[in-house]
């Protein structure tokens, strides 16, 4: 599913100058969805509310897909350098002390975290994300950015909430301790 993003940006700017994110419904019953920038595009297929949540995670939360099946040509990211840092919910860092969501990881959780090892419902470092089966990690084992019908896990949920604090809906909220670097090279702190 795709849409004319230039037209959508122009119309949104003219009609709703304070817009932040768009969800476009395509009058087509074919299963599908996509997100480009701040725009989510979904069909009217019967199960699309779940896809809409996933695509909104991309468009509003700047979250990555957590799939591990190959997608040739998908752009790389790196939290160890370069010009394209990874989204909040994925990383290529595997050293415990440098994991951006370290405050969420219980000290007893093994790194990397193996699915089925008793840590599936905890924040860890699960291998496979951004269409790579190795070398890229996600914070949760079964999250909405990997499986439809699941909730956003802890780290993606925090990234969505922090989007509000960094100017997601209208003006920027005042906060003493910003937990998210707007440059997208996030260091997440656990809210208590």
pLDDT in tens, 81-120: 889 999 999 999 999 999 999 999 999 999 999 999 999 9
Q: Band of the pLDDT at 185, cuts 50, 70, 90?
A: very low
Angle value at C-alpha 53, between 84 and 184, nearest 5 degrees:
20
Task: For residues 186 and 87, give the distance between their C-alpha atoms in angstroms, rounded to a whole number.
Answer: 8
Of residues 161 and 164, more confidence is placed in: 161
**Does 180 have pLDDT greater than 60?**
no
The model's pTM: 0.80
Report residue 53 as tokens: 């949540």
For residue 159, being part of any structural domain is answered with yes
The answer to whether residue 49 sits within a structural domain is: yes
Tell me the average pLDDT of the chain. Answer: 85
**Spatial separation of the C-alpha atoms in residues 58 and 67, rounded to whole Å:** 13
**Please, how many CA atoms are within 13 Å of residue 81, restricted to the half-sphere of its CB?**
0
How do residues 9-52 score in pLDDT, each as one tens digit?
Answer: 899 889 988 888 888 888 888 888 888 878 888 888 888 888 89
Q: Extract the tokens encoding 90.
A: 């994925």
The band of 145, judged by pLDDT with boundaries at 50, 70 and 90, is very high
For residue 129, being part of any structural domain is answered with no
Distance CA 45, CA 86 (A): 31
Structural domain that includes position 10: 5-64+148-165
Please indicate, yes or no, if residue 36 is contained in any of the structural domains. Answer: yes
Band of residue 189 on the pLDDT scale cut at 50, 70, 90:
low
- For residue 157, being part of any structural domain is answered with yes
Q: pLDDT tens digit string along 65-92?
A: 999 999 998 999 999 988 999 999 999 9
Q: Give the pLDDT confidence score for residue 91 in this predicted structure.
A: 98
Q: State how far the Cα of 50 lies from the Cα of 17, in Å rounded to an integer.
A: 28
Separation CA 146–CA 149 (nearest Å): 10
Q: What is the DSSP letter of 172?
A: P
With respect to residue 55, please indicate whether it lies within any of the assigned structural domains.
yes
Q: What is the largest CA-CA distance in the chain?
A: 53
Which DSSP string corresponds to 107-141? Answer: TTS-SSPPTTSS-TTS---EEEETTEEEEEEES-S
Confidence band (pLDDT; 50, 70, 90) for 190? low
pLDDT at 176: 38
Eight-state DSSP code of residue 76: P
Residue 97's pLDDT is what? Answer: 96
> Total domain count for the chain?
1
**pLDDT of residue 184 exceeding 50:** no
| Beta carbons of 3 and 39 less than 8 angstroms apart | yes
Residues 125, 137 contacting (CB under 8 angstroms): yes
């Amino acid at each position: 599913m795709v849409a004319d993003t230039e037209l959508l940006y122009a119309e949104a700017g003219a009609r709703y100058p304070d817009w932040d994110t768009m969800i476009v419904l395509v009058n087509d019953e074919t299963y599908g969805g996509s997100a480009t920038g701040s725009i989510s595009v979904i069909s009217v297929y019967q199960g699309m509310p779940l896809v809409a949540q996933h695509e909104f995670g991309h468009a509003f939360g700047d979250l990555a897909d957590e799939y591990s099946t190959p997608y040739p040509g998908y752009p790389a990211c790196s939290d160890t350098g370069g010009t394209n840092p990874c989204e909040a919910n994925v990383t290529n860092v595997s050293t415990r002390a440098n994991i951006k969501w370290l405050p969420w990881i219980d000290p007893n959780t093994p790194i990397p975290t193996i699915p089925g090892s008793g840590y599936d419902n905890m924040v860890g470092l699960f291998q496979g994300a951004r269409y790579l089966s190795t070398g890229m990690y996600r914070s949760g084992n079964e999250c909405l950015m990997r499986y439809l019908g699941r909730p956003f896990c802890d780290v993606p949920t925090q990234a969505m909430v922090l989007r509000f604090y960094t100017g997601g809906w209208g003006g920027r909220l005042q906060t003493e301790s910003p937990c998210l670097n707007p440059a997208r090279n996030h260091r997440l702190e656990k809210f208590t």
